[in-house]
Amino acid sequence: MDGIMSKLRNLDAYPKINEDFYSRTLSGGLITLASSVLMLLLFISELRLYLHTVTETKLVVDTSRGETLRINFDVTFPALPCSILSLDAMDISGEQHLDVKHDIIKKRIDSHGNVIEARPDGIGAPKIEKPLQKHGGRLEHNETYCDDHCCNTCEDVREAYRKKGWALSNPDLIDQCKREGFLQRIKEEEGEGCNVYGFLEVNKVAGNFHFAPGKSFQQSGVHVHDLLAFQKDTFNVSHHINRLTFGEYFPGVVNPLDGVHWNQESPSGMYQYFIKVVPTVYTDVGGHTIQSNQFSVTEHFRSADAGRLQSLPGVFFFYDLSPIKVTFMEEHVSFLHFLTNVCAIVGGVFTVSGILDSFIYHSQKAIKKKMELGKFS
């Protein structure tokens, strides 16, 4: 038994020295104090990393198909009345959403930005509770301009013209519009602005959506807006983007167009945003997954007098999808990893401080010895 104990004693990698042979120095005490403080700070830093989550980022090819893209927006036009503003969306698959009215709310605002009226019925002219009759009064319940297949309001006429691809050049020539005071209402809203917010649900393919005055229609395969009805030569499309997102919010997302403001200096023109949408998947530490998107953007303004063809006044957002998907995954650092780092901190600082103490001790000893030799010589 004594032999086994003796062999184990010989394996001791930490031989002990009698305390009588220890030599304690002032430099050693200072180094010990400094190294202890350093180890404590590094330990606290490592503990904070262990208690908090870390985010791992990966890039993968986006193989999803048949999904939709939700576009959330909140845009203010300080010089464009709500009654003339419309929203269209279209994509490269050929799908079009003209004069979008659903899931949209707009607010009439004055020149100071104060809300005059909020209309939940969406983009387009305000609804008339009871249209005017030909003799100037209001229509009763069973009374219409024409029969069931005719247009009983100015808005019905404009919609019928849009479907036919016709422009409404002079609303005063249309009995419904004249009786309802279409042009008068537009003149009354001059100087007002409009705040439009809501969301669009579109196909997950490249496309665009835009805010522009007038109802849109197709004419000879070309997308055009009926601006003649407003009898105006210029339209101020100055705008402030309060919020624009492609998908749900997730921690750390940065939307570069939030808070962007642009003032129009030329009489009229088209302001364009070219957006690159990057599909993003965010998974938190609890395993909850958020399917969303990030985007980058460039801007361009095309004046109405640039080129031969006149530019449609409005604000256009052209978006394209990236084939690469970004995945963010939150996770905790494992306890073994934390323990390994703590051991590395303690061992590393202890070793370095020991080397430093030994160097200072032997340097002081050598200098003292030389000084003693100099006295005797």
What's the pLDDT tens digit per position in 286-332? Answer: 889 999 999 999 999 887 664 444 678 899 999 999 999 999 998 88
Q: Is the separation of the CB atoms in 98 and 224 below 8 Å?
A: no
pLDDT grade for 124, boundaries at 50, 70 and 90: very low
Tokens of 304: 């109405």
Query: What mean pLDDT is reported for the chain?
Result: 80
Q: Which residues of 286-302 are buried (b: 16+ CB within 10 A; e: fewer)?
A: eeeebebbbbebeeeee
In this prediction, residue 360 carries a pLDDT of: 85
- Stronger pLDDT, 2 or 135, i.e. the higher one: 2
In this prediction, residue 145 carries a pLDDT of: 44
Tokens of 298: 């460039």
Q: Which residues of 164-200 are buried (b: 16+ CB within 10 A; e: fewer)?
A: eeebbeebeebbbbbbbbbbebbeebeebbbbbbbeb
Q: Which letter does DSSP use for residue 253 in this model?
A: -
Residue 188 C-beta-side C-alpha neighbours within 13 Å: 8
In this prediction, residue 136 carries a pLDDT of: 41
Is the pLDDT score of 188 beyond 80? no
SS3 213: strand
Residue 363, classified by CB atoms within 10 Å of its CB into exposed (0-12), middle (13-18) or buried (19+), is exposed
Tell me the one-letter amino acid at 268.
S
- Report, as an integer, the average pLDDT of 185-207: 86
Helix (H) or strand (E) holding 54: strand 53-61
Nearest Cα neighbor of 157 from 131, 188, 135 is 131
- Stronger pLDDT, 103 or 148, i.e. the higher one: 103
- Lowest-confidence pick of 32-46, 123-137, 156-170, 229-243: 123-137
- Stronger pLDDT, 50 or 165, i.e. the higher one: 50
In this prediction, residue 137 carries a pLDDT of: 42
- Report, as an integer, the average pLDDT of 184-211: 87
In this prediction, residue 292 carries a pLDDT of: 94
In this prediction, residue 131 carries a pLDDT of: 43
Distance CA 206, CA 373 (A): 88
